[in-house]
Amino acid sequence: MISGYIDRIEEGVAVILLNDGDYQLNYPAELLPENLGEGDYINLSIEKDEEKQEAMLQEALSLMDD
């Protein structure tokens, strides 16, 4: 889990500071949940999507067979 802080929103971009400000993530503000905004602390989770990866692999393989 990655902790972050929504520092500001400018020109449709949420500037999220990660790891106590060591890193900055620019994220489309329109994709934030409605209840989040400037000054909110958040947790981010990044996970591998095994199902999507397998589906894309199968699709690529089927295109190669054609």
Both tokens assigned to 32: 């934030």
d(CA 25, CA 42): 12
Q: What is the pLDDT along the chain (66 residues), one digit of tens a residue?
A: 899 999 999 999 999 999 888 999 999 999 999 999 999 999 999 999 999 999 999 999 999 886
Alpha helices in the chain (DSSP H): 50-65
Q: What is the pTM of this model?
A: 0.77
Residue 44 · residue 36 · CB < 8 Å: no
